[in-house]
Structure 1
Amino acid sequence: MADNVVLRVERLGFAYPECAVLEDVSLAWPAGLALVQGDESSGKTTLLRLLAGELAPRSGEITLQGVRQRTDPAAYRAQVFWQDPRSTALDELTARQWLAGLPAQHARWDAAALAAHVEGFSLEPHLDKPFFALSTGSRRKVLMAGGLASGAALLLIDEPVAGLDKPSVNYLVQVLGRAAAHPARLVAVAHYEPLPGVAWGRTLTLARAR
């Protein structure tokens, strides 16, 4: 795109039946690394789910690489990688089975990158465990390894360091540092605060809706 914007959000609004969560959110993010930060119940995960196409906005428009989510949802979702780390949908699959199914879903899948992330996150001993048997940290590491290898134009990561051991946090910081320089991919991370050692290209701070 001429203005280098990968993801554009215009006046996005969303409310659950019991409360409003997001009001009039707008952003224009280029390739690289973006942080969505805020306190508990400020809407961080909700925003990621909206950007993934998992939730439908009440108002506003989301455009990824020129594709409007509202008018061409299938083409939009084909460019996104999102897995909710709290979901139980993958529980009966082993990590290896889930990872083996990803190349068919992502045209820019990078097998060499997956191998590097499996090593970097020390995942080899856990690949044949079902997701329900993985610790919180191991589950997140498997999901991030798959996402980072997917080649998706938009990679969404929610609370990446929950349950991670120190070496894995250090590896993640290195990986995010490399992602910051990617010319055609946006990695958007939701976290309570900036991660030490990570240079965020863009930051969106959400406040709890009143």
Structure 2
Amino acid sequence: MSDHNEPPAQHSAPATPVLLKAEQIDAGPGSAQVLRGWTAQFPAGLSLILGEDGAGKTTALRVLAGELAPRGGRIRWRGGPPPGAGEVFWRDPQEPWPEALSPRGWAAQLRTQWLQWSQRAWERHVDGFDLQMHLSKPMYQLSTGGRRKVLLAAALASGAPLTLIDEPVAALDRASIDYLCEALDEAAQAAAEARRALILAHYDRLDEGLPWQCVAVLPLAQ
């Protein structure tokens, strides 16, 4: 992978067999077109969509999740059609939460949705992100960082074949960022072994020690 001081490549080649392909994607919210001819390949394990603000990271994740239909191009999942809703863990962190929903209540819902849900992992991440005191509170009462940590804990515990996470460290404290990087390092190996794809979108690489299988760079739209 190239250093930040080098011209960014469009896409670094995956080291393991490809699970997910974005082929010549044109897309954007509303009438905007943020992605133009975007092509990327994501293998099992941990991957990163890298780009500055306005480069289309959230748009890319929404397209991969099937939440936003591209105007052009196609998504391929394991050599076939795009992944179905039951294969993708994705929640836009900016989306409002149901008023009465608590972290504990959401986790209970997710246990029934994801066959590979790990209660042990959820409890470990709750401890790691220091969420114990907030589990019974309505989500709207949590801080922005608190809600982000709940989302991260759930994503990492889901066991979903395709897990998508947007701007993972937004509003997190230093201790939580350090824990997240440790958790991602562990999750990367588990995902690679289970042939699952864990894809993050962020403006930098978080930690140079993380085992990124692939880094797909999004240039700023012209």
TM-score, L = length of structure 2? 0.86
**Equivalent pair of 2:164/2:198 in contact (CA under 8 Å):** yes
Deviations 1:88-113 (A, max 9, x none): 03343111111110012112111111
Q: 1:187 aligns with which of 193, 198, 202?
A: 198
Asked if 1:94 corresponds to 2:94, the answer is no
Shift of 1:199: 3.1
1:60-209 equivalence runs, <5 A? 60-69=73-82, 76-181=84-189, 182=191, 183=193, 184-196=195-207, 197-209=209-221
Unaligned runs of 5+ residues in structure 1 are: 70-74
Task: Count how many residue pairs are aligned between Structure 1 and Structure 2.
Answer: 203
Q: 2:52 aligns with which of 22, 35, 39?
A: 39
TM-score, L = length of structure 1? 0.90
Q: CA RMSD in A?
A: 1.6
Shift of 1:14: 0.8
Question: Which amino acid in 2 is paired with 1:33?
Answer: L
SS class of match (1:193):
coil
**Equivalent pair of 1:64/1:76 in contact (CA under 8 Å):** no
Output the CA distance in 1 between the equivalents of 2:213 and 2:157. Answer: 21
Deviations 1:150-188 (A, max 9, x none): 110111111111111222111110111122223211111
SS class of match (1:23):
strand
Deviations 1:26-59 (A, max 9, x none): 1221111111111111100011111111111111
**Residue equivalent to 1:28:** 41
**Equivalent pair of 2:45/2:213 in contact (CA under 8 Å):** yes
Farther off after superposition, 89-98 or 165-174: 89-98
Question: Which amino acid in 1 is paired with 2:218?
Answer: L
More strand by share: 1
Output the CA distance in 1 between the equivalents of 2:188 and 2:113. Answer: 24
**Residue equivalent to 2:18:** 5
Shift of 1:198: 2.3
**Equivalent pair of 2:97/2:139 in contact (CA under 8 Å):** no
Question: Which amino acid in 2 is paired with 1:202?
Answer: C
**Equivalent pair of 1:67/1:76 in contact (CA under 8 Å):** no
Identity percentage of aligned residues: 44
Unaligned runs of 5+ residues in structure 2 are: 1-15
Go from structure 1 to structure 2 and tell me whether the alpha carbon gap of 1:50 and 1:129 turns closer, same or farther (over 3 Å shift): same
Output the CA distance in 1 between the equivalents of 2:89 and 2:129. Answer: 19
**Residue equivalent to 1:72:** none
